Amino acid sequence: MKPTRILMVAVLGLFLGAATGFGIRFLKSDKAAESAPVAGIEPALETLPSFSYPDLEGRLRHSGEWRDRILVLNFWAAWCPPCRAETPLLVELQEKYAHDNVRFVGIAIDDRQPVQDFVDENGVEYPILLGDVKAIELSKKLGNRFEGLPFTVVAMPGGKIILRHQGGIGRKELEPVLKQAIEDSRRTFSAPERI
């Protein structure tokens, strides 16, 4: 059996829960919930680590490409119903906020061809990377304790994580976070002095 099929079977139960509205939002401001120790589970990282995966053309892409942007990192798969359902919103918000220093990046835990077909059918123009077992480990380090899909992380320029969301994400969960991140990012940017 292909590794993708094994993974699909292993997490199918989690996806069914996500499809029925199971979604947990972990905001960085909720320090008590985040820092509560859970036996055998490492605490989630506070900042995005360096990572690299190939894109659909086979080029290796590095996280450093987006280090100076507000980054929406979405772990997904073409066979995952909640992943498919949230994609039009992600495409719309990438277009809407592209000029506000926001970049969406998808990490597909799937085989290349179904991902390419889905991207083509849905007009996804943001970078899509092909993940593997290491990508699942990355999502776990970022707070995806159940290793389910979809899983979305939003990070400020420099990598500080400001949102973790397990399950399908909607406009009311994502757009206010993006607007606040854009505003905060603008406030911290200092224009050069005029001579």
The predicted-structure confidence for 125-160, as pLDDT tens digits, reads as follows: 999 999 988 999 999 999 999 999 999 999 999 999
Q: What are phi and psi of 153, to 5 degrees?
A: -125, 140
Residue 170 carries which side chain, given as an amino acid letter? G
Q: Is 164 a member of any domain?
A: yes
The predicted-structure confidence for 74-109, as pLDDT tens digits, reads as follows: 999 999 999 999 999 999 999 999 999 999 999 999
Q: In the chain, pLDDT over 70 holds for what percent of residues? A: 75
The residue length of the chain stands at 195
Q: Is 157 a member of any domain?
A: yes
Alpha carbons within 13 angstroms on the beta-carbon side of residue 191 total: 4
Query: By residue range, what is the domain housing residue 93?
Result: 3-187
Tally of domains within the chain: 1
Query: DSSP string covering the chain, please?
Result: --HHHHHHHHHHHHHHHHHTT--EEEETT-HHHHHS-BTTBPPPPSBPPP-EEEBTTS-EEEGGGGTTSEEEEEEE-TT-HHHHHHHHHHHHHHHHHGGGTEEEEEEE-S-HHHHHHHHHHHT--S-EEE--HHHHHHHHHTT-TT--S-EEEEE-TTSBEEEEEES---HHHHHHHHHHHHHHHHHH--PPPP-
Average pLDDT on 2-15 reads 44
Give the model's confidence band at 9: pLDDT under 50 very low, under 70 low, under 90 confident, else very high.
very low
Q: Is 141 a member of any domain?
A: yes
Average pLDDT on 170-180 reads 98
Report pLDDT for 22. Answer: 41
Angle 119-74-163 from CA coordinates, rounded to 5°: 155
Write out the two tokens for 195: 């001579």
Q: Is 195 a member of any domain?
A: no
Q: Is 183 a member of any domain?
A: yes
Q: Is 119 a member of any domain?
A: yes
Report pLDDT for 42. Answer: 75
Give the model's confidence band at 36: pLDDT under 50 very low, under 70 low, under 90 confident, else very high.
very low
Q: Is 192 a member of any domain?
A: no
Q: Is the pLDDT of residue 60 over 80?
A: yes
Q: In the chain, pLDDT over 90 holds for what percent of residues? A: 71
Write out the two tokens for 69: 């942007």
CATH number for the domain harbouring residue 12 = 3.40.30.10
Give the chain's mean pLDDT: 84
Q: Is 135 a member of any domain?
A: yes
Average pLDDT on 158-185 reads 97
Average pLDDT on 40-62 reads 92
Report which of 109, 90, 111, 54 is spatially closest to residue 174, judged by C-alpha positions.
90
